Structure 1
Amino acid sequence: MTRPLDPTSPTSPTTSTIAMGARARAVLAVLGTLGLVLAAAAAAPASAADRTPVTPTQLFNGYQNCSTDADRPAYVEASLGLVVEGIPSTTDSTDHSLLTARYQVWPVTDPTRTTTVTRGSTTPGSEAVAPLPSEALADGQTYAWQAQTVAGGAASDWSAPCYIRIDNTRPASAPAVSSSNYPPNTWNQGGEPVEFTLDAGGDDDVTGFEFSWRQDFRVLTTTIGDHGVPEPLNPYADTGSFARADAPGGKATVRLIPPDGSVGPVTLWVRGLDRAYNPSAATGYSFLVRSTAPTVTPDVPSPGFGDPVTFTLRPDPGVQSASPVVSYSVETSGGPDGSRTVDVPAEPDGTARVDLTMEGIDGQRVDVTSRSANGWVSPLGSWSVLYDTTPTVTSDGYPENGSGGGTGVPGTFTFTSKLKDVVSYTYFFNDDPEATVAADTTGPDHTASIDWTPPSDGHYDLMVCATTASGVRLETYDYSFTVN
């Protein structure tokens, strides 16, 4: 490979030079698209002339590693230009005066056509980022670029060339998607992973695939480490979202678990990726999954409020056959502490038992999902019961939803519990302060009575709730009446 001549030489061919004076602070690399955010750096003169510039190290292009193999260039998207970078330095590690980084790029078919970009005011020991212009990088062409450190009037040797292949064109066609065990347009027994075949159909621009259970795909980000050094991302390391094709234009087979709780129509979205991670159009593969929810059975058919209950959890037979259920997630809701979730291990046959107390003042709900050894998570299996924990309120002088008595006419109101362990009642009339009266715990109905004299005529609401011996405040009852 013939290296280009130094553009400062009087014998050099015509060159294009662009001066840059900013340093990259944040980088976001999206599939097929590169962005660069530059923040101005303060200018400073070069330090003493006796320091010797050192050839830049840590070379990257498009936040990918530099390839020094001309036969294996790095494929990059450069429709908006291409970020190149390297770390300039000098032999004097104690001198932190700002340096200039110089980058030069040329097509491998014509090394005399050079474009030079300089990045001034850059910190020694940190990445000096500069964009090569898009007009200097033609789609489908291979280029070489190199870097040089400039300090005062001195320049280092050029780095060994890095080779890039410009790929601004998306793959022409969406991939084909099929499944050997979950055919489309029919109900499928869930419980085992879905085996998909992703096929580029011979389009050798496609070298891999991206897939998602949602129609939107991931945004890939490049992490910038110490001294601005990027950490090149290999998306194919994420086997839950990416797969390499077995050959350019070839296929990939993946086994995927649908999202937790999948039932009914499910769609996998797939698109092809070229070497620069440009995406093709997406293909959706839809299929139907029967419910694989476990059954939830109490040992008492109609447990009462406050009763301890043992529930038996049983797996869906198809799920258990595909891969044994190893645990259950049990969520109870409606109790005084809101929702609570516990994990319960399963027996070898997939069943499990869990003890719960019915504490919901309006009722209790139990939602259960099973988890299989292969990672399959079922939809909810549910059980619920409703309770009426409001007290009964009666009054001879002031009937409910009626009228009676009058201003200054006392009345008696009696509270009766529907439950066994009520110890008191809390009540108030309209906006009066709350008051509490003890229940007669010796009687079968745990009753209490209060005497009340209305201060004026009109409509009244008597709000009453009972409290249990364990301190649980039950549901409130609204007793409405009118004072004559």
Structure 2
Amino acid sequence: MSFGARPRAVLVSLGTLGLVLTGAASPASAADAAPTTPTQLFNGYRHCSTDADRPSYHWAGDGLVVEGIPGTTDATGNSLTGVRYQAWPVTDPTRITTVTRDRARPGFEAPATLPASALADGQTYAWRAQTVVGDAVSGWSAPCYVTIDNTRPANAPTITSPNYPSDVWTEGGEPVEFTLSAGGADDVEGFEFAWQQVMPVIGTSIGEYGIPQPVDPYSNTKYFKRADALGGSATLSLVPPTGSGPMTLWVRSLDPAYNGSAITSYSILVNSTAPTVTPAVPKPEFGEPTEFTLRPDPELQAKSPVVSYSVRSTGGQNDRTFEVAAGADGTATMELALDGIYGENLQVTSKSANGWVSNAGWWSSDYETTPTVASDVYPENGSGGGAGVPGTFTFTPKVKDVASYTYTFNNGDPEVTVPAGADHTASIDWTPASDGWYDLTVYATTRSGIQLAPYDYFFTVN
């Protein structure tokens, strides 16, 4: 929900609000059900303030929801009640607006809406509640005080950073220090910020018995920071969401009613801080345990030591992510047996002691697991033999530990599996029934049961 409309969201439906602008009587209930003063008072789904010098602030462009829990002396809780709410400007207590909620259930919040037409922007109001049972009424609650604020901060905030100049390529490795200022708006209470332009909505969840569960948004330090004074500034120390490249922080000011100002932004450009990934041998083989060394970006290591690496392996039999601890010099070693039949990719990010997470360093294998296929009579991508002329096809592995080969001609014939010999090769004899174009598809299977990549051998029978 946009701050330009209403700067908060209620996360559950409250049902239809009964609204009467005069003191309509509540239905009668059990004769012994005497009304008691409402409790759990809220306005705009936030706690009411009983301190006239410290009112709560609310946007009320669509009116203001006021609510409390009515009570009676009926121990069964079956009595129906009503709740009457009165509100008036603190500067003129004679201008009373009355709304009621009829047929309310004791023990549950009974909301009603003070109309927007009765609430002037910038004016402070007091309101109170009483329980109504037939002709009987409870005492009034203590007044709650609320100031109506339908106007968002006049100016967008300003953003500066001492260590990451705007739109200038800068070496990464340390959190970005930001100073957020109100831009001359004197009603700014704090700031909302995010690394994406769409920011979180300030909402209130509803608990048992319809009781709102308001939370101070400034307790969420990931997105909010209170100003050092009304109309003042705030400082942030943020680790960017990615380790390099262009990034933008989006910020808006919030007044005490959580009305949001226009959004402003600050863009930074961060050089790569990716680690390097180096295998112990130039070309690791399929299935062979290989040691890899992970080394931090030197400038990153100089700013804050790398303490760990996150390794993401893709393309293997099972994609996986795991952590590797770094030594005092920021380097780490790990051992992997690569089992991707089309190769395997490693994406590695480093994490520094100050919380900085680098962009990913990449490493990719370049081995092949397809078998080699050869035939003297029927050469690959050539022609030979003829209908009824037998030919031999020999399968040779490119990887170790091959146990068998599975093949089919023209992909429509049944698959046939033949065992590999002691040298891990196999040969088959085949006689074509007719001339024409053929496709021999072959794949190998290892002793551990991994089905390797298939190879297509094309040829023509004369």
TM-score range, shorter chain: over 0.9
Identify the residue that residue 90 of structure 2 maps to in structure 1.
108
Identify the residue that residue 229 of structure 1 maps to in structure 2.
211
After superposition, the Cα gap between the structure-2 partners of 1:40 and 1:220, relative to the gap in structure 1 and judged at 3 Å, is: closer
SS in 1 for 2:94: coil
| In the alignment, structure 1 residue 39 sits paired with structure 2 residue 21 | no
CA distance in 2, matches of 1:33, 1:391: 63
| In the alignment, structure 1 residue 424 sits paired with structure 2 residue 404 | yes
After superposition, the Cα gap between the structure-2 partners of 1:453 and 1:327, relative to the gap in structure 1 and judged at 3 Å, is: same
| In the alignment, structure 1 residue 460 sits paired with structure 2 residue 460 | no
- Following superposition, the deviation at residue 411 of structure 1 comes to 2.5
SS in 2 for 1:321: helix
Identify the residue that residue 320 of structure 1 maps to in structure 2.
301
Identify the residue that residue 251 of structure 1 maps to in structure 2.
233
Bigger mean CA offset, 86-95 vs 452-461: 452-461
After superposition, the Cα gap between the structure-2 partners of 1:30 and 1:122, relative to the gap in structure 1 and judged at 3 Å, is: farther
After superposition, the Cα gap between the structure-2 partners of 1:165 and 1:45, relative to the gap in structure 1 and judged at 3 Å, is: closer
CA distance in 1, matches of 2:163, 2:229: 24
Q: 2:166 aligns with which of 175, 184, 187?
A: 184
Say whether the 8 Å CA contact 1:203–1:248 is kept in structure 2: no
After superposition, the Cα gap between the structure-2 partners of 1:458 and 1:106, relative to the gap in structure 1 and judged at 3 Å, is: same
Identify the residue that residue 5 of structure 1 maps to in structure 2.
none
Identify the residue that residue 185 of structure 2 maps to in structure 1.
203
CA distance in 2, matches of 1:379, 1:238: 26
- Following superposition, the deviation at residue 251 of structure 1 comes to 0.8
Say whether the 8 Å CA contact 1:141–1:165 is kept in structure 2: yes
Identify the residue that residue 74 of structure 2 maps to in structure 1.
92
SS in 2 for 1:335: coil
1:101-149 CA-partner distances (Å, limit 9, x unpaired): 1111111111111111111121110111111111111111111111110
- Following superposition, the deviation at residue 459 of structure 1 comes to 2.6
SS in 1 for 2:301: helix
After superposition, the Cα gap between the structure-2 partners of 1:109 and 1:343, relative to the gap in structure 1 and judged at 3 Å, is: same
The two structures, once aligned, show a CA RMSD in angstroms of 2.1
Instruction: Give the residue type in structure 1 aligned to 2:456.
Output: D
Q: 1:304 aligns with which of 285, 299, 303?
A: 285
SS in 2 for 1:70: coil
- Following superposition, the deviation at residue 434 of structure 1 comes to 1.2
Say whether the 8 Å CA contact 1:198–1:252 is kept in structure 2: yes
CA distance in 2, matches of 1:193, 1:302: 37
Say whether the 8 Å CA contact 2:33–2:74 is kept in structure 1: yes
1:263-282 aligned within 5 A = 263-282=244-263
After superposition, the Cα gap between the structure-2 partners of 1:301 and 1:31, relative to the gap in structure 1 and judged at 3 Å, is: farther
CA distance in 2, matches of 1:29, 1:345: 47
Identify the residue that residue 371 of structure 1 maps to in structure 2.
351
CA distance in 1, matches of 2:386, 2:369: 31
Identify the residue that residue 61 of structure 1 maps to in structure 2.
43
CA distance in 2, matches of 1:216, 1:263: 21
SS in 2 for 1:146: strand
Q: 1:155 aligns with which of 137, 140, 143?
A: 137
- Following superposition, the deviation at residue 321 of structure 1 comes to 2.4
- The gaps in structure 2 that reach 5 residues or longer are 19-25
Identify the residue that residue 384 of structure 1 maps to in structure 2.
364
Instruction: Give the residue type in structure 1 aligned to 2:413.
Output: D
1:87-108 CA-partner distances (Å, limit 9, x unpaired): 0010122131221111111111
CA distance in 1, matches of 2:204, 2:459: 69
Identify the residue that residue 340 of structure 1 maps to in structure 2.
320
1:161-176 aligned within 5 A = 161-176=143-158
